[in-house]
């Protein structure tokens, strides 16, 4: 699948930004465990925090394919910065853009596109991960407002967020049927960060446990229809999974590029490693997995842009890209040998960053459930 000219221009523009602004900070972001404020400002200035928000709401008016390219190119140098963009855009902005009222869109989208309010997505809980429908956070109808109580886990951008998309039951059902979605501002009394996780990878991205303790929100904080929140969560994750697939692709491409350069300059047995057929075979397999991931991502993105069903395809893209990223980064360390295992070289960071892509926004097992369920429904 060839990229149309317009996308090549977008890719070149993001590539330049990523190589000049993100790459020099990537090791520091990993070591220090947070994103510098300047980088968030520069992401916003370049339109990367509101890429597919229409211009009338202050965004860059691009499409989903462009967004996928942005996440890939940024993640090629820094996966923490990549997921910051991805979670904010596809999990924070998209549900408001698609399910919000005109008033909600006008209130939130311009500030989110400008990076003044960062978005996060509060679905998972201590006892509700893959089984998202079993969540227990509750929003009680108090007549003139809602009162939300519960704890949310593994929330990307939890520390930076100004706006949370919160899934809470408004009817006490054991399954997904009682779930509604809300837009909650983090300045609301009763919202707090319980803890920030200390993680293996994406160390510059915040992952928080959040408390909602008698959080009082207005009636119009409800997003979409009551008790239709699970559909909003699932539809949002369909798009989010393209973002994480793009992050995984960027990680794999970054590790691969580094390994290629390394094998060309590393001399053993009197010649560069890249002269050895055993090494070339490894590079060929890495390249093929990266190519297959890229095609699945472009395919899912183009279906989404064409407003065609893409749930199965986004799960396939995420499954392929995340498992490929884990495989490619493992090989990248192998190719760099002892050096690759040290923190002086960036491949160990790519390896640590790759692992999460097989877990968040649905584990590889959840992607397989989504793919299989779509296939089983399609054939009679
Ligand atoms: N779009 C819209 N609606 C959908 C849908 C989709 N893609 N998939 C399912 N639904 C709807 C169904 O139509 C059904 O609704 P109705 O009864 O009204 O028709 C409802 O959702 C339930 O469907 P299922 O019976 O298929 O759902 P399930 O309970 O069997 O769950 C699952 C399926 C795929 C396992 C789902 O629970 C799931 O995706 N789990 C993983 C959750 C996940 O990805 N969590 C990650 C959280 S976010 C994160 O990690 C990052 C962060 O920053 C926090």
Phi-psi group of 268: left, alpha or beta (phi > 0 → left; psi -120 to 50 → alpha; rest → beta): beta
Segment (H or E) for 268: strand 267-268
- pLDDT exceeds cutoff 90 at 3: no
Pocket test for ligand 1, best of 94, 234, 362 (most atoms within 8 A of CB): 234
User: What are 304's two structure tokens?
Assistant: 């989404």
| Res. 380 pLDDT band, cuts 50 70 90 | confident
At 277-330, the pLDDT tens digits run 999 999 999 999 999 999 999 999 999 999 999 999 999 999 999 999 999 999
Would the CB of 130 count as within 6 Å of ligand 1? yes
Q: Is 304 helix (H, G, I), strand (E, B) or coil?
A: helix
DSSP lists the bridge partners of residue 182 as 166, 222
DSSP 348-361: HHHHHHHHGGGTTT
Are the C-beta atoms of 244 and 360 separated by less than 8 Å?
Answer: yes
Nearest alpha-carbon partner for 11 in 83, 54, 74, 57: 74
- pLDDT exceeds cutoff 80 at 2: no
DSSP lists the bridge partners of residue 267 as 272
Q: Rounded to 5 degrees, what angle do the CA atoms 353, 129, 230 make?
A: 115
For residues 62 and 230, give the distance between their C-alpha atoms in angstroms, rounded to a whole number: 27
Radius of gyration (C-alpha) of the chain in whole angstroms: 21
Pocket test for ligand 1, best of 82, 134, 231, 371 (most atoms within 8 A of CB): 231
Are the C-beta atoms of 151 and 194 separated by less than 8 Å?
Answer: yes
Q: CA distances (Å), 273 to each of 259, 264, 283, 330, 337, in order?
A: 10, 6, 11, 17, 11
Residue ID of nearest Cα to ligand 1 atom 19: 231
Q: For the full predicted model, state whether its pTM sits above 0.85.
A: yes
| Res. 213 pLDDT band, cuts 50 70 90 | very high
At 24-54, the pLDDT tens digits run 999 999 999 999 999 999 999 999 999 999 9
Are the C-beta atoms of 178 and 171 separated by less than 8 Å?
Answer: yes
Is position 361 annotated as part of the catalytic site? Answer: yes
Phi, psi angles (nearest 5°) of residue 29: -60, -40
Tell me the CA–centroid distance for residue 133 and ligand 1, in Å: 8
Would the CB of 362 count as within 6 Å of ligand 1? yes
For residues 349 and 343, give the distance between their C-alpha atoms in angstroms, rounded to a whole number: 8
Average pLDDT over residues 105-129: 98
At 225-260, the pLDDT tens digits run 999 999 999 999 999 999 999 999 999 999 999 999
Q: CA distances (Å), 47 to each of 10, 35, 135, 358, in order?
A: 11, 18, 35, 28
For residues 103 and 246, give the distance between their C-alpha atoms in angstroms, rounded to a whole number: 31
For residues 202 and 80, give the distance between their C-alpha atoms in angstroms, rounded to a whole number: 5
User: What are 196's two structure tokens?
Assistant: 């920030």
For residues 342 and 324, give the distance between their C-alpha atoms in angstroms, rounded to a whole number: 22
Would the CB of 238 count as within 6 Å of ligand 1? yes
């Amino acid at each position: 699948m060839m990229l149309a000219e317009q996308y090549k221009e977008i890719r070149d523009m993001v590539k330049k930004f990523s190589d000049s602004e993100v790459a020099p900070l990537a090791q520091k972001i990993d070591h220090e465990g947070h994103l510098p404020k300047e980088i968030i400002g520069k992401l916003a200035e370049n339109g990367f925090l509101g890429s597919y928000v229409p211009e009338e709401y202050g965004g860059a008016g691009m499409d989903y394919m462009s967004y996928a390219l942005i996440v890939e190119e940024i993640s090629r140098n820094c996966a923490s910065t990549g997921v910051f963009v991805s979670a904010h855009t596809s999990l924070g902005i998209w549900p408001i853009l698609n399910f919000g009222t005109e008033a909600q869109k006008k209130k939130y989208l311009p500030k989110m596109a400008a990076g003044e309010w960062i978005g996060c997505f509060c679905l998972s809980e201590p006892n509700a991960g893959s089984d998202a429908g079993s969540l227990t956070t509750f929003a009680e109808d108090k007549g003139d407002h809602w009162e939300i109580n519960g704890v949310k886990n593994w929330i990307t951008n939890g520390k930076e967020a100004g706006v949370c998309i919160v899934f809470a039951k408004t009817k006490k059902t054991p399954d997904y049927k009682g779930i509604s979605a809300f837009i909650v501002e983090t300045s609301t009394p009763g919202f707090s960060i319980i803890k920030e996780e200390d993680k293996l990878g994406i160390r510059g991205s915040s992952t928080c446990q959040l408390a909602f303790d008698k959080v009082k929100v207005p009636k119009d904080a409800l997003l979409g229809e009551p008790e239709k929140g699970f559909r909003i969560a699932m539809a949002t994750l369909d798009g989010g999974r393209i973002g994480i697939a793009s992050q995984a692709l960027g990680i794999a491409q970054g590790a691969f590029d580094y390994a290629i350069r390394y094998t060309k300059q590393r001399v053993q047995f009197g010649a560069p490693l890249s002269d050895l057929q055993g090494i070339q075979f490894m590079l060929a397999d890495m390249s093929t997995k990266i190519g297959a991931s890229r095609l699945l991502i472009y395919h899912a993105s183009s279906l989404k842009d064409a407003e065609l069903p893409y749930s199965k395809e986004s799960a396939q893209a995420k499954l392929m890209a995340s498992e490929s990223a884990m495989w490619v980064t493992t090989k990248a360390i192998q190719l760099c040998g002892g050096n690759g295992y040290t923190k002086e070289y960036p491949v160990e960071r790519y390896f640590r960053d790759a692992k999460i892509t097989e877990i968040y926004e649905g584990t590889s097992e959840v992607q397989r459930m989504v793919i299989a369920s779509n296939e089983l429904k399609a054939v009679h």
